[in-house]
Amino acid sequence: MNTVNRRDFLIQSVSAAVAAGGLYPRRASGAASKDRLSVAVIGCGRLGQQYAEIYRALPQTDLVAIAEWNPERRKVVGERFGVKALYRDADALLKDVVPDLAAIITPTKYMADGVVACAEAGVKGVQTDRPFAAKLSDADRMIETCKQRGTVLAGGALERSNWEVEEAGRRLASGELGKRQGVAVHSYRGEILAGGSARILVLEHFTQARVEEVVAWGTPPEALDDAATDYGLSINGRFRLTSGLECQVFGAEAVAPHRGVEVWTEDALVRWDRHGEPLTQIFQGFDAKGARKEVDHGYRPWSWDPVSKQLDPLLDRIGHHGSERHYVLAPISCLIDAVAKGIPPRITGDTQRHALEVAIASKISAQLGSVPVKLPLEDRSLALYPRPYRWLGGDVSGRPQSATEAAGKK
């Protein structure tokens, strides 16, 4: 089955779910129509191509424009996705096209300018990839501009947008599992701006509280002394939350039994493991040996399940399996629902900014000898940079993408 036929098959299949599920109607493929949201992907590298695949296949959206700085890749992805409106960057695109939605999947260095340009042009909803920003001043600029212009600023491929995570937090917040007594973050290491941000966003959802003070220890010394990047840094410490709870933080995997967040009550434990299967687990009560018993989570169905099931062939093809099944579809669904229905996205500019502040505060505390650092940080010139691949992109940091791969043939 060729790409065009596969897309038509997905469109026709999803249409069958429209009447039953109350989804947006899908017309025949072609130019953007009034009942669908127009979309531009700005930054069409490896991950940007996954966004383009899904936006192109969804019944709610039309992929109408792509911005990609690499001229060879720009041509290839235009042909791959059937998009003729191709541009070098966001500024050039916005002179001709003001889409309803923009997915800004550029290296982190260029995200702030792209977000601001889209908001000022009148784009209704913008999402970014991780890390959201390196500089607090850039995060502030994005959030303030979007607020002034009425633009929804949402997150991208972070696990907080996953429905299992949303529902586990809802069950904790309802009180049905008991009063929260403790919380731990595991494996806060490697890249505390990327994977670390995922942990902070889940932590604050599960606890319905924010980190207000950080005390941290960092290893190894060479990573702690590197003022430029978070790469290779392992953080152990304590986060004090606005709820009064204290969160224990473990960095090295040798002392971190899981790779996510745990919250416990009098007799229940909720565990999110970033690479776990399932992604979240709920334990309640104890067996005859005194060990915790895993229980059926009883999550409500995701409103996007009909669409998700119809996109299974596409998700398989782009390598989304198991706990990463909805890695890109979930944040896309959040942005569409935010713009079309007024439902707040699960990841916002504000929550991403706070995760950045926690990472910066952790490194500062460790560098100063584990001194307490209070949030929010007063000095908005502070920054913490991700590794070059995330900050500058693969083409200039030793991980270029071939034209064959960009064409979807590898």
| Number of Cβ atoms within 10 Å of the Cβ of 157 | 23
Question: Side chain identity at 67, as an amino acid letter?
Answer: A
- The pLDDT tens digits for 270-323 are 999 988 888 899 999 888 998 889 998 889 999 999 999 999 999 998 888 877
- 6 to 9, 12, 332: CA distances (angstroms): 5, 10, 20
- The pLDDT tens digits for 57-104 are 999 999 999 999 999 999 999 999 999 999 999 999 999 999 999 999
Tokens 């890695």 -> residue: 327
What are φ and ψ of residue 90, in 5° steps? -65, -40
Is a pLDDT exceeding 80 seen at residue 126? yes
pLDDT-derived band at 6 (thresholds 50, 70, 90) equals very low
pLDDT-derived band at 226 (thresholds 50, 70, 90) equals confident
- 266 to 176, 238, 317: CA distances (angstroms): 11, 21, 43
- 175, with CB counted inside 10 A (0-12, 13-18, 19+), is exposed
* Mean pLDDT value of segment 26-35: 48
Is a pLDDT exceeding 90 seen at residue 49? yes
Question: Considering the chain, what is the average pLDDT of its residues?
Answer: 89
Same fold? 3-158+304-348, 160-298+352-385: no
Strand blocks (E) in 198-357: 211-219, 233-241, 246-249, 260-264, 268-273, 280-286, 292-294
* Mean pLDDT value of segment 22-45: 66
Listed residue (409, 401, 404) closest to 317, CA to CA: 409
**Residue ranges per structural domain of the chain:** 3-158+304-348, 160-298+352-385
d(CA 97, CA 20): 34
- The pLDDT tens digits for 128-137 are 998 999 999 9
269 DSSP β-pair partners: 264, 283
389 DSSP β-pair partners: none
Question: Side chain identity at 339, as an amino acid letter?
Answer: V
pLDDT-derived band at 210 (thresholds 50, 70, 90) equals very high
Q: 195: which 2 tokens?
A: 């994977």
What top-level class would CATH report for the domain 160-298+352-385?
A: alpha beta
CA triplet 356, 384, 253: central angle to 5 degrees?
A: 75
**Under 8 Å between Cβ of 118 and 90:** yes
Is a pLDDT exceeding 50 seen at residue 13? no
Domain range 3-158+304-348, CATH architecture: 3-Layer(aba) Sandwich (3.40)
81: left (phi over 0), alpha (psi -120 to 50) or beta: alpha
d(CA 312, CA 304): 12
Q: What is the pLDDT of residue 255?
A: 61
Q: What is the pLDDT of residue 12?
A: 42
Q: Which pTM value belongs to this model?
A: 0.90
- The pLDDT tens digits for 140-169 are 999 999 999 999 999 999 999 999 999 999
